[in-house]
Amino acid sequence: RKEVEQDPGPFNVPEGATVAFNCTYSNSASQSFFWYRQDCRKEPKLLMSVYSSGNEDGRFTAQLNRASQYISLLIRDSKLSDSATYLCVVNPMNRDDKIIFGKGTRLHILP
Amino acid sequence: EAQVTQNPRYLITVTGKKLTVTCSQNMNHEYMSWYRQDPGLGLRQIYYSMNVEVTDKGDVPEGYKVSRKEKRNFPLILESPSPNQTSLYFCASSPRQIDSYNEQFFGPGTRLTVL
């Protein structure tokens, strides 16, 4: 099983729809989790951290399922400006382990 | 303004000609890292540094060197660039690697082409 796995997409979604994608991770001892957003040829930027209890920021909701070892991102009422690649990031438990980036899921919001 | 800067932003060079990509952060972060991003392969870590004078190999360190003489700077050195090092490079910094919910701040990227 790959360390962090994401569906590469692309997800083509009409504007206003709700879209969700998951990220699975293999190391059950992983400590913290994030979603980053990356626009074409730009640097990744933090979208939101993922807390054990789940968290919501406006139209965005992130969830963590430790039992099944995945995190999810839900985008409601999608906007054209949500078109981007969404990267899942997993921080390890130990200092000797490495931060792992998923390869990203491409999202296209269609007018 | 809190930021990570990289220079140059774009570079076209030839095989074997030594080059350095600079990275600087003004947030007093302990942790700094270099990544390369290639289509279909995602972000791969080259080297990272937990603090001054402490550097460690990431997943793809071959052909690269780094140094961390000062907290704010973390240059990436390609002693003898080869065409397979053509890529988009990102520098990133973070307060500490291991802490709950530490955000990494990325520089704008350096697009390197080795002919």
pLDDT digit string, tens, across residues B11-38: 999 999 999 999 999 999 999 999 999 9
Minimal Cβ distance to A101: which of B40, B43, B98: B43
Q: pLDDT tens, B42-99?
A: 899 999 998 899 999 998 999 999 999 999 999 999 999 999 999 999 999 988 755 5
Q: pLDDT tens, A52-65?
A: 888 999 999 999 99
| Nearest alpha-carbon partner for B29 in B92, B77, B90, B110 | B92
E strand or H helix that includes residue B24: strand B19-25
Residue of B nearest to A93 (CA): B98
Query: How far is the alpha carbon of A76 from chain B, nearest alpha carbon, in Å?
Result: 24
Question: Hey, are the CB atoms on A91 and B102 less than 8 Å from each other?
Answer: yes
User: Which residues from A are below 8 Å from B48, CB to CB?
Assistant: 98
Interchain contact A27–B (C-beta under 8 A): no
| Nearest alpha-carbon partner for A35 in A21, A51, A46 | A46
| pLDDT value at residue A96 | 59
User: Which residues from B are below 8 Å from A51, CB to CB?
Assistant: 101
CA distance B32 to B11: 22
Q: Is the pLDDT of residue B6 over 60?
A: yes
User: Which residues from B are below 8 Å from A91, CB to CB?
Assistant: 97-98, 102
| pLDDT value at residue A7 | 93
Whether residue B8 has a cis bond before it, omega within 30° of 0: yes
pLDDT in tens, chain A (111 residues): 678 999 999 999 999 999 999 999 988 888 789 999 999 989 999 999 887 888 999 999 999 999 999 999 999 999 999 999 999 998 876 655 677 899 999 999 999
For residue B62, give every residue at least 6 positions away whose Cβ sits within 8 Å of its Cβ, in sequence order, or none. Answer: none
Running DSSP on this structure, what letter comes out for residue B35?
A: E
| Nearest alpha-carbon partner for A42 in B68, B44, B17, B43 | B43
Per-residue pLDDT band for B101 (boundaries 50, 70, 90) equals low
Q: Is the pLDDT of residue B100 over 70?
A: no
| Nearest alpha-carbon partner for A74 in A103, A105, A100 | A105
| pLDDT value at residue A51 | 79
Mark out the alpha helices in B13-80 (DSSP H runs): none
| Nearest alpha-carbon partner for A45 in A37, A34, A53, A56 | A37
Minimal Cβ distance to A104: which of B33, B42, B88: B42
Query: How far is the alpha carbon of A111 from chain B, nearest alpha carbon, in Å?
Result: 26
